[in-house]
Amino acid sequence: MWRSLQIGLSQLFSPAHSTGELVAYVVGALLASVLVLALLHKGLGWRGKRRLTMAVTFTAGLFFALEYFYPVRMVAGRQRNFLTDYIQPANEVLAIIMAFTVGLGIYSLIQVHGRNVLRQRRGWCNSLAFFLSMVVMFGFTLADNYIKVSDPPPAVLPYPKASFEILFNGLFMPLQSATFSLLAFYIASAAYRAFRVRTLEAGLMMAAAFVVMLGQVPIGAWLTHSLPVTGYHGIPAFFRLENLGEWVMTWLNTPAQRGITFGVAIGALAMSLRIWLSLERGTFFSEQS
């Protein structure tokens, strides 16, 4: 019976034989999905919808967890159980589904900037610039992908590809780099204004910061270059700034970070269990729509 079911399902979901058949199946699938969703929307109350969501959450998590924990046997040199063959297709499908969510943030941006332009609010020209740059970049990125040139690319490019290069390497990347490079100024200003050694802890933090800052750069090595370089098991060599900096990172920083990691790991495991079992409460997890 299981075999007949498998054969039946594979025939039902086999590829279409012609374009007409493909269109018919696609339209049919769309209509069937709309029908199912409409029936669920009408037929289930908010409790039913919540239980459905809980069941989907649990099943999805169970599939991945079960495939990992279920006993395996060796088949053709690889460990497998009855779920292993479905992991790769499942991941592929999930990645494609996730790719369709790319528009969520874009839709939000379009809403906000669209309102600015339509109502001609203060700064609406900037919102218009946003739309122009989005559309132009979208178009030229597609053009760059579909117009092929030799490998390696020549110095003189077709206009669409050249335009893409100007947008990408001339505007997009430099704007991003410059925006993040502003942090250098802010960190200098913040370090000067806020870093006050008022307590022992602040003093420890400052001392460690100074050792690491000097140890990471060549001038730190130069400042203590008169100390011998006999590996860093020798006492004088230990105090060379580059060795001291390395010791702080490897033997002081590492265990502290690991302590934090253990706490985070246990917390994340507890949180994952709660989410998997739908025990969480909050905006998304509230009982009513």
The least distance separating other proteins from the CB of residue 179, rounded to whole angstroms, comes to: 6
The least distance separating other proteins from the CB of residue 1, rounded to whole angstroms, comes to: 23
Q: How far apart are CA 103 and CA 110, in angstroms?
A: 10
Residues in the chain: 289
The least distance separating other proteins from the CB of residue 2, rounded to whole angstroms, comes to: 21
Query: In this complex, which beta carbon is closest to other proteins, that of residue 2 or of residue 33?
Result: 33
Residue 43 identity = G
Query: In this complex, which beta carbon is closest to other proteins, that of residue 29 or of residue 75?
Result: 29
Q: Which helix (H) or strand (E) holds 80?
A: strand 78-80
Q: Which helix (H) or strand (E) holds 262?
A: helix 254-276
For every residue of 157-179, DSSP letters joined together read --HHHHHHHIIIIIIIHHHHHHH
For every residue of 40-79, DSSP letters joined together read HHHH--HHHHHHHHHHHHHHHHHHHHHHHHS--EEETTEE
Beta bridge partners of 200: none
The least distance separating other proteins from the CB of residue 263, rounded to whole angstroms, comes to: 5
- Beta carbons of 277 and 58 less than 8 angstroms apart: yes
Query: In this complex, which beta carbon is closest to other proteins, that of residue 1 or of residue 180?
Result: 180
Query: In this complex, which beta carbon is closest to other proteins, that of residue 2 or of residue 77?
Result: 77
Q: How far apart are CA 143 and CA 133, in angstroms?
A: 15
The least distance separating other proteins from the CB of residue 279, rounded to whole angstroms, comes to: 11
The least distance separating other proteins from the CB of residue 115, rounded to whole angstroms, comes to: 14
Query: In this complex, which beta carbon is closest to other proteins, that of residue 118 or of residue 183?
Result: 183
117 is written with which tokens? 């332009």
Query: In this complex, which beta carbon is closest to other proteins, that of residue 93 or of residue 118?
Result: 93
